[in-house]
Amino acid sequence: MSIVKITSQEELDQIKTEHDKFILFKNSTTCPISEAAFEEFKAFAKANETLPLYYLNVQEARPLSNAVAEQYGVKHESPQALLFKGNEIVWNQSHWKVTVSVLEQQWNA
């Protein structure tokens, strides 16, 4: 499975019914730090092609980005990686702390 872009609450709800565990990455299309973190996320995805991995561009999906922060009580940051298990976020990290090794560690924890 490659990284899939989402833009709506309905898509996120569908993902939650299909996968008990997945990562959602919040990306800013205008921030160089976000670009670097997204490159790390893509490298993680390339090495783990069967994992359910999703992303949203904050500028294009602001309502969804805000809804995730509100629904799960996780402060919005961008870039930000969020690990969902069941119907909750069990881990999140942002900025320079989003790396292939950290994503691997958290996925396998």
CATH number, domain of 18, equals 3.40.30.10
- Residues 31-40: pLDDT tens digits? 999 999 999 9
What is the pairing mode between strands 88-94 and 53-57?
Answer: unpaired
Calpha distance 78→89 (Å, rounded): 16
Contact 69, 54 (CB under 8 A): no
Q: Over range 33-62, report the average pLDDT.
A: 97
Q: How many domains does the chain have?
A: 1
pTM (2 d.p.) = 0.96
Calpha distance 44→33 (Å, rounded): 17
Calpha distance 50→66 (Å, rounded): 28
Q: Can you give the residue range of the structural domain that contains 28? A: 4-108
Q: What is the DSSP letter of 83?
A: E
Q: pLDDT-derived band of residue 60, with 50, 70 and 90 as boundaries? A: very high
